[in-house]
Amino acid sequence: MKPIIAMPSDALVEVNPRMPSDYPAYAPHDVKEAVFAIGATPLILPFPDNMAEAQAAAEEMVNLYDALILPGGPDVAPQYFGEEPIPEIGITVSQKDEFEIALIKATLAANKPILGICRGIQIMNVAMGGTLYQDLATQDPDYAIQHTQATIGNFVTHHINLEADSRLAKLVGMKLLVNSRHHQAVRKPGKGLRVTATAPDGVIEGLESTDNNLFVGVQWHPENLWQKDPVQLNIFKDLLTRI
């Protein structure tokens, strides 16, 4: 049997105005295609609307997969890192946050590896006690690069620099051009996480576990780049080597 790589679902909230509760649970197309491309089987995990069920659902679902991808999605609600929402924050979905934080803890407890992408690196950081910039342009005084790129989402726009001894550098090299579709970012790294990639303006673009190989996170979207640049698929292949 092929390895199973699960991903928590997103949920469209503005699909059918005549039946507002009938929205789909879905995962990004290019992420599930990356999972197929590395010879694994993707599995989408829906979150319960009832937040009281998040923990139990996560503890059941963790038995279903070998590795977890946390894909991009809405902003993380600042209540999970001890802040009130500033006016510039985007859409947040607390039910999704609650489930994903429980899922991250269950996955680490089961010693299963995680890849975080965009929102995924952020929710992982929050689950480990770290904080986020709710909005880079408002809160980061050194913000100097367009991280919410105006151009097409699968075009590369800014550079990142990688730490020489990092897992990410072994996968993609010491300097890389990436795409950028985020207005939030990691502010203070959480427990057991270290910064392994930064943009030239200092914005954190990569995090990894310090004392095991369970987590690698990237702020950019390799799932939209591997089709033209096989180096970006290394980030997904690496998840298989960590199972």
State CA 199 to chain mean position distance. Answer: 17
Kindly state whether residue 224 participates in binding Mn ion, applying the rule CB under 5 A.
Answer: no
Closest CA to 132 of 140, 103, 11: 140
Query: Hunting for tokens 């270290």 — which residue is that?
Result: 194
Q: Which stretch binds Mn ion (CB under 5 A): 31-39, 90-98, 175-183, 221-229?
A: 175-183
Stretch that binds Mn ion, among 10-18, 24-32, 117-125, 173-181 (CB under 5 A): 173-181
> Using the rule CB under 5 A, is 184 a contact of Mn ion?
no
Stretch in the footprint of Mn ion (CB under 5 A) among 23-31, 80-88, 129-137, 146-154? 146-154
**91 with 74: CB under 8 angstroms?**
yes
User: According to the binding rule CB under 5 A, does residue 180 interact with Mn ion?
Assistant: yes
Residue 107 or 180: which CB sits closer to Mn ion? 180
Beta-sheet pairing, 132-133 with 204-209: unpaired
Tell me which DSSP letter residue 78 carries.
G
- Residue 221 engages Mn ion in binding (rule: CB under 5 A): no
Largest pairwise CA distance in the chain:
54
- Concatenate the DSSP letters of all residues of 174-187 into one string: SEEEE--B-S-EES
Q: Which of 98, 100, 118, 183 is catalytic?
A: 118
32 contributes a contact to Mn ion by CB under 5 A: no
- Closest CA relative to residue 72, chosen from 32, 16, 130, 13: 32
The candidate with the shortest Cα–Cα distance to 122, out of 153, 165, 146, 90, is: 90
Task: Give the total residue count for the chain.
Answer: 243
Binding segment for Mn ion among 50-58, 92-100, 116-124, 180-188 (CB under 5 A)? 180-188
140 contacts 164 by C-beta, under 8 angstroms: no
Considering only 32, 96, 147, 242, the residue that binds Mn ion (CB under 5 A) is: 147
Comparing every residue's Cβ against Mn ion, the nearest one is 180
The verdict on 183 binding Mn ion (CB under 5 A) reads no
Annotation marks residue 118 as catalytic: yes
Question: 125 vs 180, which CB is nearer to Mn ion?
Answer: 180
Other CB atoms within a 10 A radius of the CB of residue 77 amount to 21
Based on the shown chain and the rule CB under 5 A, indicate whether residue 119 belongs to the binding site for Mn ion: no
Contacts with Mn ion: how many residues (CB under 5 A)?
A: 2
Residue 52 CB, nearest distance to Mn ion (Å)?
36
Give the interface with Mn ion as residue ranges (CB under 5 A).
Answer: 147, 180
- Catalytic residue numbers, as ranges: 118, 221, 223
